[in-house]
Structure 1
Amino acid sequence: RPEFALGHSCLALYAALAQKGFFDKKEFRKLRKVNGILQGHPDRLKTPGIEFNSGSLGQGFSFALGCALGGKLNKKSFRVYTLLGDGELNEGQVWEGFMFGAFHKLDNIVVIIDNNGLQSDDLNTNVTALEPITEKLKAFSWHVIEINGHDFREIANALEWSKTIKGKPTVILAHTIKGKGVSFMENNPKWHGSLAPQGEERIIAFKECGLEDIKI
Structure 2
Amino acid sequence: MSETDLAVDATGTAPADPLVLAASWLPTPASGVTPTMTLSTIGLDGYPSARTVLLSRFDGQRVHFHTDTRSRKAAELSAVPRATVTVLLPESARQLVVTGDVTPVTDEEARVAFAARTRYLQVLAWLNDHELAAEPPERRRERWAAFERDRVDAIEPPATWVGYALTPVRMLFWQGDVDGPSNRLAYHRTDDGWALERWPG
**TM-score w.r.t. length of structure 1:** 0.27
Larger Rg: 2
Return the structure number with greater strand share: 2
Return the structure number with greater helix share: 1
